[in-house]
Chain A
């Protein structure tokens, strides 16, 4: 991905910033919590299956929130499920990231008006890093969302910038 490619030509000493090293490590192995909600989960499955192959971005499904770095909210979040999602999110170790996949988890989607039991946007209970639009988003859109998240992580810093 650019950072280390040219550094190993002669010797094996690399000089880099701590920020860059940590960010590179984080963004290259985003372990995903394998957790599907609704229709979008099927597209998420298709993304991790043979044709689109999520693995090549370092995304490996983990069944436990305690081993996961990233949670993809893939589908409609209902009021009954929202408290569970919040608890799952709290169980994940820092640093943790969230991709909100599909219209439903972005804003309620087609259920925004009459959905008496639908939470209109998962960002009402947990903070979201990347929104992927679509109903459901194509696998390519989800991949783009992941690349956007990687870009975001690449620009993070340990030092708090002065405001």
Chain B
């Protein structure tokens, strides 16, 4: 017999969101914990890059291609900048741009996808067919071609913003614009399909019949049910966009120097590899590690949310 004063009417008390999150974290497999640790370290590096980095982003500190030493952990690059500092700043630039791109693509693709699934009119048909065409070509090929067109120049013309942005910023805005639009087609497909499978269920019908508006149906009935797959998709899209940006920058058409970026850093120092020096592999490994980490966390999250929940 317990002596504690237990409220008999409530058989079990509901755990708060934070308690649930903590319980889930404690039971996470090692791979997911590894992934979350890596992501946390990357995010901290990205935010506090100027405080951690011993040298500036574009600061020339010594002779070109100097090997690693106690002062310059990863050596110096082709014009004598500290590679360690640039890797830290690169975390900020590459991850920041990828994150911004995915946020835009989710806002655009997610909203349109849910709207198309709920209304199911001519708009749904038209958008779905357009998305079909866009999804029939790999993003990299499309992005390469559109990058040559520099669509942001057109945007600039329409709004009369000539001279507002420097060339470097414009290249980055172009990249974000193109990848966000291309990526939003993938988000649209997922958001529409998951929302559609929820929208035909009885509880949505019930909400409609009792006279709830579109806003209520979407926000209170549909969104909570499609949130887990969308969050998982956010992680996967992030690693995909991140890889695409790295590839484009590596090819010399993405983020332009002197901005530190992992893809272009590999391209800039690639001659070193033919002398057997591993320096170009450092930013490349940083990219690979982050993608693996994100994949681990997403795997665990999907497993967690798609399976039976123990607290229900």
A and B part of one assembly? no
